[in-house]
Structure 1
Amino acid sequence: MALILLGILVITWVLGLFFFGFAGFFRLVGVDYTSSYVLIGFVIFFLLIGSLLDVCALAFIGLFAHYVRGKYSLFIIRMAIDCSFTWLALHEVDEWLNQITIPWPAELLAALFLFMVDVALDEKKVKPGS
């Protein structure tokens, strides 16, 4: 029972972070949506579709990693692929939900922002002395 409650708490926490993150971002860039329930639906659909597309993006990044030399070149390839798939998820959810209208520059800015957050949270810690 405690494990189920912990799982529900974690899922609620993640949905809340994305909900308030998108609500704040949408307020900054002037995105119109009809209600908070639409935004909750947007977040849920984005997480579902984004998760599926993220697996595809990771596969493409893994394929290109074998052929690209250099840390900065790999970062640019990773950014292009990851932002493209994130933008695709954002755009598709925007198109499916008629109650929310996101201009394409805001979609691209959101994809780039989500990539930068992902990179910042994904950086490997370097052990001292290694």
Structure 2
Amino acid sequence: MSDQDSFKNESLPTKIFIIVSVSLIILAAIGFVVALIFFGFVGLFRIIGIEYSSYWSLLWFAVFYFICGFIGDFIVKLLFGLMRASGRWSWNALKGGYFFFSFLINWGIISILVALMSSIDIQPLTQIGIALFLALLDLVFDPPKEKKADMEEGGE
């Protein structure tokens, strides 16, 4: 009970300090993720040879991709959960579905952003390649978790 009352008993300057500190930590974490996405796109676009008008347009592309990707990741996990709940798919088929959904969402996000932003031009075949690469990264770094029920059923 004393743990719950501890913040209420703090003085006003201490409360403000705590709230500002936590807010800055959260903003720093979000900024770090957006910076990783931004510099990842800079490197990827430089390797592939995609032209963009300025770093600001690329920054906006990365920010919008981050926002849309957050929503897209939720959709991928929802679709993966529906596949898993049906119980009709082996583990390899579930991972393939996760990869396919991730690819489609990434391709959709990139296509929409390219259509809306005139300062970045990516050819459709290159969009597909980038979406495949991002889906592969998603599968490698954030793989779907296998439940015990999936392992006990012997799903491959």
Normalising by structure 1, we get a TM-score of 0.86
Q: State how 1:7-86 maps to structure 2 within 5 Å.
A: 7-65=26-84, 66-86=86-106
Following superposition, the deviation at residue 103 of structure 1 comes to: 1.2
Determine helix, strand or coil for the equivalent of 1:101: coil
Structure of higher RCO (CA pairs closer than 8 Å, 6+ residues apart)? 1
Q: Structure 1: which amino acid aligns with 2:126? A: A
Determine helix, strand or coil for the equivalent of 2:134: helix
- Maintained 8 Å contact 1:83/1:112: yes
In the alignment, structure 1 segments of 5+ residues that lack a partner are: 125-130
Task: Give distance in 2, aligned partners of 1:117 and 1:42.
Answer: 19
Q: Structure 2: which amino acid aligns with 1:53? A: G
Task: Give distance in 2, aligned partners of 1:46 and 1:70.
Answer: 32
In the alignment, structure 2 segments of 5+ residues that lack a partner are: 1-19, 146-156
How many residues are aligned here? 124
Following superposition, the deviation at residue 34 of structure 1 comes to: 0.2
> Counterpart of 1:119?
139
- Maintained 8 Å contact 1:68/1:74: no
Cα 1:97–1:73, aligned 2, differ >3 Å: closer, same or farther? Answer: same
Q: Structure 1: which amino acid aligns with 2:69? A: G
- Maintained 8 Å contact 2:38/2:58: yes
Determine helix, strand or coil for the equivalent of 1:32: coil
Task: Give distance in 2, aligned partners of 1:44 and 1:110.
Answer: 17
- Maintained 8 Å contact 1:94/1:100: yes
CA RMSD of aligned residues (A): 1.5
Task: Give distance in 2, aligned partners of 1:84 and 1:70.
Answer: 21
Following superposition, the deviation at residue 122 of structure 1 comes to: 2.0
Task: Give distance in 2, aligned partners of 1:29 and 1:105.
Answer: 12
